[in-house]
Structure 1
Amino acid sequence: MKKKWFYPLLITTTIGSALVHFFTKVEWIQFTLACTSLLFWAALLGKATESVAHYAGERLGGLLNATFGNAAELIISIFLVKAGLFNLVKASIIGSIIGNLLLVLGLSVFFGGLKYKTQQFNPILAGHNASLMMIAVIGLFIPATFLQGVPHTSVFNVSMIIAAVLIIGYFLWLYFSLVTHRKELSEQETEANPTDHDEDEGPAWSKWVSIFMLALSTIFVAIQSEWIVATVEYVAHVLGWSELFVGAFLIAIIGNAAEHSAAVFLAMKNRIGAAVEIAIGSSLQISLFVAPVLVFIGLLFGQHMNLIFNHYEIAAVAVATFIASSISRDGSTNWYEGVLLLMVYIILGAAFFVVR
């Protein structure tokens, strides 16, 4: 980070958040400072991940960015599961999926498209991503449809089976895309879509400094996430917002801050393939790995979280998957397609805000 104001504000908000958390216990101040501090640490996490990605390569770099960008979301969700706030967990999972598919991808495509008339990426990868997102929708739809009225024990057992299948499928996808078919799915630089080397300033830090910054920012993201969870119910009650809206939009936007910054900057450097890998890859990781693994993590805390989502959440993911697949499947984007994604995100946000 080269902005002179960044690190002073990072340190100030972090110290302020710690003082409020340990000494004053004023919930709304704690929530505000923790959210602000988390945004700064998430931005640093995104920068560190981008720097590590420089040494790891484009596709693996995109995966690393999505993985560590989702660290905030996973950590927040773990604390929510521990507290037994399953509705908030599920809402934040849905919010993260649609946030990445619509907001992160939409902003990336829009700002990248303003600078470059048409941006292209691997259409084969886009097709696989679309198919995997449909699997995610199926994984949400089947339990909600077939397990209504079924005894709780049976619901949880089926949820564990589905969760295990999704996790195995996700790791097989990683093996397929990064090992057996790595060449076919890699981004190829062409004359029609050259990478903007003039604007690519290279990594911010050396390899080991980048890894250290990645670890440090992940730790502080975890700390701030726990403090946010401790106050989120109070804030939602005071503002009169539903758990659905708080989880699906407020927590999801905060948790996805790392992806927001990294994906948009990459798209503006004409590295739309990496930006798409972050946005869609992150959604796949949330739906095929993070959500299922929370079912098993809940067992560590004696909590039985199932995979039954309400019809609002399923409809939101289905709509987001449909429009994102429609736009990205041909491997070509422009700024207006970014507008379309953002329009759908705003429509869903308005609907979620009034649902109780």
Structure 2
Amino acid sequence: MGSTEEKTNYLSDEGTPLKSSPVAKNVSHSFDCETGPVRSSPDVTRWWKTNNIRIRPLRSAYIVLVRAKINVLLPFGPLAILLHYLTGKHGWVFFFTLLGIAPLAERLGYATEQLAFYTGPTVGGLLNATFGNATEMIISIYALKSGMIRVVQQSLLGSILSNMLLVLGCAFFTGGIVHHKVQVFNKGSAVVNSGLLLMAVMGTTFPAVLHFTHTELHSGESALSLSRFSSCIMLIAYASYLFFQLKSQQDLYGPLDEVGEDEVEDDSEIYAWEAIGWLAILTVWVSILSGYLVDAIQGASESLNLPVAFISVILLPIVGNAAEHASAIMFAMKDKLDITLGVAIGSSTQISMFVIPFCVVVGWCMGEPMDLNFKLFETATLFITVLVVAFMLQEGTSNYFKGVMLILCYLIVAASFFVHIDPTNDND
């Protein structure tokens, strides 16, 4: 990330802090490369600020598009589009599109993090709820438009499983290995998230049981109506959770180690208007690549001889969770497990209580029968996963062995979906 001085220079080309002191408001300064800050006339200051406006986008582009090592994968996005029109080989198009979306997902998380420095915790939580899982939402909306409801359900389910088992497991493992001790996190926040995840399991279990026990009042319609009603309730519950955690009980359920205001300012590297601009640009580019990715799923399944369920549950979420995976491990290595839990479990909570119900409502508006009936196999997988993770979090501590168990559980889930094929009809 660089030193504090480097971060300050990114934000202030004049060598002065972002927040000017009362004395500095009435004094105009320019910057000389050899002597440092010097007094200047108003005309020189006005020219410098105009010139600064021209230079800032270039420096911001370097920070967002060049400096991060993962950006070496950015050219794979245009390459996938070329392969789509020139060769039509869906396997290669799918693979290169995955590689091209991975850095975009990470950069979306970075831009959201930078913007959250200026908006405060409440708005920052809303931003994380929307842009933190923007990749999954965009891919899901494109799949809904194509009528691929099972791909939407399985990819969102895979994101939850990946965050709870793989991401959290790797974070616990690396944190325990680096620090050689039992790490501690806020137990109250973990319990609240576990409760929301169990509520999401309840929302997906009832439509599945209602449908597969053939006890619907109106066959083929009751489960869909129940799903839409439950989705609205889950969205209300998630909004209440945001208010509860970020506004009402932020002292009780916040991180154990609070970050000071000055430290937050030093961590910000780009201005708020630059972060908003990059969020718009990155979202548009992810939307474009998502269309090609969804179109290539079926062809990739046939050419790679992989079940669509495995591609949707295992491969797609790995790309969407690239940012969460890296961030969770980094914070665990810094012994900041509260942030790690917020990244991994918080993201799972967002998907289960916000993204999935949101997709049901969007499908309702589109006229697509998107529901919470994830079929019995997927519902059982989600239920068992939430129980396992809830037991892991109940003590408020972590170690490398818990990480190993979560990773091994994810390998079992991956192997299960590798040999799982969706039934052709419900009677099967």
TM-score by length of 1: 0.89
Q: For 1:326, what is the secondary structure of its paired residue?
A: helix
- Return the offset for 1:185: 0.8
2:369 pairs with one of 288, 301, 304: 304
CA contact (8 A) 1:62 1:278 kept: no
* RMSD, aligned CA: 2.6
| C-alpha separation in 2, matches of 1:248 and 1:281 | 19
1:49 is matched with 112
**Deviates most, 288-297 or 19-28:** 19-28
| C-alpha separation in 2, matches of 1:3 and 1:270 | 25
Amino acid at match of 2:155: S
Q: Does 1:164 align with 2:232?
A: yes
Amino acid at match of 2:257: E
- Return the offset for 1:50: 3.2
1:123 pairs with one of 187, 197, 211: 187
Unaligned stretches of 5+ residues in structure 1: none
1:82 is matched with 145
Amino acid at match of 1:125: S
- Return the offset for 1:209: 2.8
Q: Deviations over 1:33-90 (max 9, x none)?
A: 2111101211222332333344456787576445423111111111111111122211
Tell me: CA distance 1:76–1:4, structure 2 relative to 1, closer, same or farther (3 Å).
closer
| C-alpha separation in 2, matches of 1:59 and 1:271 | 21
**Deviates most, 24-33 or 79-88:** 24-33
2:197 pairs with one of 104, 116, 133: 133
CA contact (8 A) 1:14 1:37 kept: yes
1:291 is matched with 356
Amino acid at match of 1:214: L
- Return the offset for 1:337: 1.2
- Return the offset for 1:287: 1.1
Tell me: CA distance 1:317–1:291, structure 2 relative to 1, closer, same or farther (3 Å).
same
1:142 is matched with 206
Q: Does 1:91 align with 2:159?
A: no
Structure ranking higher on relative contact order (CA contacts 8 Å, 6+ apart): 1
**Deviates most, 163-172 or 300-309:** 300-309
- Return the offset for 1:317: 0.9
- Return the offset for 1:338: 1.1
**Deviates most, 1-10 or 178-187:** 1-10
Q: Does 1:186 align with 2:254?
A: yes
| C-alpha separation in 2, matches of 1:176 and 1:353 | 40
Q: Deviations over 1:186-228 (max 9, x none)?
A: 11229xxx99x99x98234333333333332222222222210
2:136 pairs with one of 63, 66, 73: 73
| C-alpha separation in 2, matches of 1:186 and 1:82 | 39
1:31 is matched with 94
Q: Does 1:210 align with 2:270?
A: no
CA contact (8 A) 1:46 1:262 kept: no
Tell me: CA distance 1:55–1:326, structure 2 relative to 1, closer, same or farther (3 Å).
farther
Q: For 1:152, what is the secondary structure of its paired residue?
A: coil
1:318 is matched with 383
- Return the offset for 1:15: 2.6
Amino acid at match of 1:107: C
Quick check: which has more Rg, 1 or 2?
Answer: 2
2:346 is matched with 281
Amino acid at match of 2:305: G
Amino acid at match of 2:91: W
Amino acid at match of 2:208: A
| C-alpha separation in 1, matches of 2:122 and 2:99 | 30
Tell me: CA distance 1:77–1:279, structure 2 relative to 1, closer, same or farther (3 Å).
same
1:263 is matched with 328
- Return the offset for 1:344: 0.5
CA contact (8 A) 2:73 2:99 kept: no
- Return the offset for 1:3: 4.9
1:230 pairs with one of 295, 305, 318: 295
Q: For 1:189, what is the secondary structure of its paired residue?
A: coil
Amino acid at match of 1:335: Y
- Return the offset for 1:111: 1.6
| C-alpha separation in 2, matches of 1:354 and 1:4 | 37
CA contact (8 A) 1:35 1:228 kept: yes
- Return the offset for 1:289: 1.5
Percent sequence identity over aligned pairs: 34
| C-alpha separation in 2, matches of 1:8 and 1:291 | 32
Tell me: CA distance 1:8–1:128, structure 2 relative to 1, closer, same or farther (3 Å).
closer
Tell me: CA distance 1:4–1:181, structure 2 relative to 1, closer, same or farther (3 Å).
closer
Tell me: CA distance 1:139–1:311, structure 2 relative to 1, closer, same or farther (3 Å).
same
2:305 is matched with 240
| C-alpha separation in 1, matches of 2:208 and 2:418 | 22
Amino acid at match of 1:166: M
